[in-house]
């Protein structure tokens, strides 16, 4: 079965992916299976999506506009995008021949462990969240050190296979601490747009009512005293994604988290995440992830065991 491009971290606490003209996207510690030459083959990697893991993107070259939760950034070498779990985001790449970046996905459990032993890291993430800031620009020295840490992680993974030892976690912890340390960089000045107060209020409202089955275009637009046609156009213009898909991506990512916890049936998870019924949840989940909810549950149990 084809695994979804957007499937979140399942049982591995973190992964590191490298992209360049030669290798395209692959685990840094492995050789790619094949070179993807056609855009139709790589396009799914760059659709608007959301997942339940934290993602750190270190931008190394090319031209890329990065969209995250209604904000668009023109990335330059040394920019680091800090994408929290459930954030809706997308990378728009002008030329894949010059595009180069490193991405690390970090599970919520490992991130929680890091934050529990580093109050300063936790404070930094809270600051970025409250400021709605997702990109920092690293100083050249710190970028070099970050790349060295990722290279060491890659070398250790090549030697030890996929075993995620304490040493690997510690190296990742060092890298994340450096990225989030205020002295390592500065906020990017390449933000192309700012949120207005109305958009902030709408995003907060959606977050608060995400699992409410009655949260739909009609009700949300009415809550903000806007016609649904104006609201729909306004939302898509500012968020770069239709209202329906934005809500869907966040609900599906929430469902993945609940499936991992293995405390509720799939049917209960569907209702708890705001879907009208199991059949629509099943269809939308499989379409997005190329995997059924129950197969994900089985796969997660198998990897955990």
Domain boundaries, the chain: 14-187, 197-304
pLDDT higher than threshold 60 for residue 164: no
61 pairs with which residues across the strands? 100
Contact call for residues 197 and 70 (beta carbons, < 8 A): no
- Which pTM was predicted? 0.80
Q: How large is the C-alpha radius of gyration of the chain?
A: 19
Decide which of 3.30.365.10, 1.10.3720.10, 1.10.10.60, 3.40.50.720 is the CATH code for 197-304. Answer: 1.10.10.60
* Length of the chain as a residue count: 305
Given this model, what pLDDT does residue 39 score? 47
Q: Mean of the pLDDT values across residues 5-33?
A: 58
Structure tokens at 53: 């893991």
14-187 and 197-304, same CATH topology: no
Q: Which range (138-147, 214-223, 250-259, 296-305) has the least confidence?
A: 296-305
Predicted confidence band of residue 35 (pLDDT cuts 50, 70, 90): very low
**Cα–Cα distance measured from residue 20 to residue 61, given in angstroms and rounded to the nearest whole number:** 9
Reported as a single tens digit per residue, the pLDDT across 257-280 is 899 888 889 999 999 999 989 999
**Cα–Cα distance measured from residue 99 to residue 106, given in angstroms and rounded to the nearest whole number:** 22
Q: Which homologous superfamily is 14-187 in?
A: Regulatory protein AraC (2.60.120.280)
Reported as a single tens digit per residue, the pLDDT across 225-255 is 999 999 999 999 988 899 999 999 999 999 9
Q: Mapping DSSP to helix (H, G, I), strand (E, B) and coil, where does residue 85 land? A: coil
**Cα–Cα distance measured from residue 302 to residue 305, given in angstroms and rounded to the nearest whole number:** 5
């Amino acid at each position: 079965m084809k695994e979804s491009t957007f499937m979140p971290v399942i049982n591995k606490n973190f992964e590191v992916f490298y992209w360049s003209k030669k290798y395209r996207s692959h685990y840094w510690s492995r050789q790619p299976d094949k070179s993807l030459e056609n855009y139709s083959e790589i396009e799914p990697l760059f659709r608007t999506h959301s997942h339940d893991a934290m993602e750190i993107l270190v931008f190394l070259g090319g031209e890329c506009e990065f969209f995250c939760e209604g904000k668009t950034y023109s990335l330059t070498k040394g920019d680091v995008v800090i994408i929290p779990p459930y954030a809706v985001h997308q990378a728009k790449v002008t030329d894949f021949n010059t595009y180069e970046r490193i991405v690390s996905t970090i599970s919520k459990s490992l991130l929680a462990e890091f934050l529990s032993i580093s109050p300063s890291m936790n404070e930094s993430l809270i600051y970025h969240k409250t400021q709605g800031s997702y990109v920092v620009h690293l100083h050249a020295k710190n970028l070099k050190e970050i790349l060295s840490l990722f290279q060491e992680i890659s070398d250790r993974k090549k030697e030890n296979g996929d075993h995620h030892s304490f040493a690997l976690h510690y190296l990742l912890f060092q890298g994340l601490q450096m990225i989030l340390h205020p002295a390592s960089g500065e906020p990017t000045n390449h933000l192309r747009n700012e949120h207005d107060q109305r958009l902030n209020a709408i995003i907060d409202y959606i977050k608060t009512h995400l699992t409410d089955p009655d949260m739909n275009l009609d009700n949300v637009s009415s809550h903000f005293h806007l016609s649904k046609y104006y609201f729909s156009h306004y939302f898509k213009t500012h968020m770069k994604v239709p209202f329906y898909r934005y809500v869907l991506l966040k609900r599906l990512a929430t469902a993945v988290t609940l499936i991992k916890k293995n405390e509720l049936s799939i049917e209960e998870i569907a209702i708890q995440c705001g879907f009208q019924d199991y059949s629509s949840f099943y269809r939308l989940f499989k379409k997005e992830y190329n995997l059924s909810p129950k197969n994900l549950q089985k796969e997660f149990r198998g990897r955990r065991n």
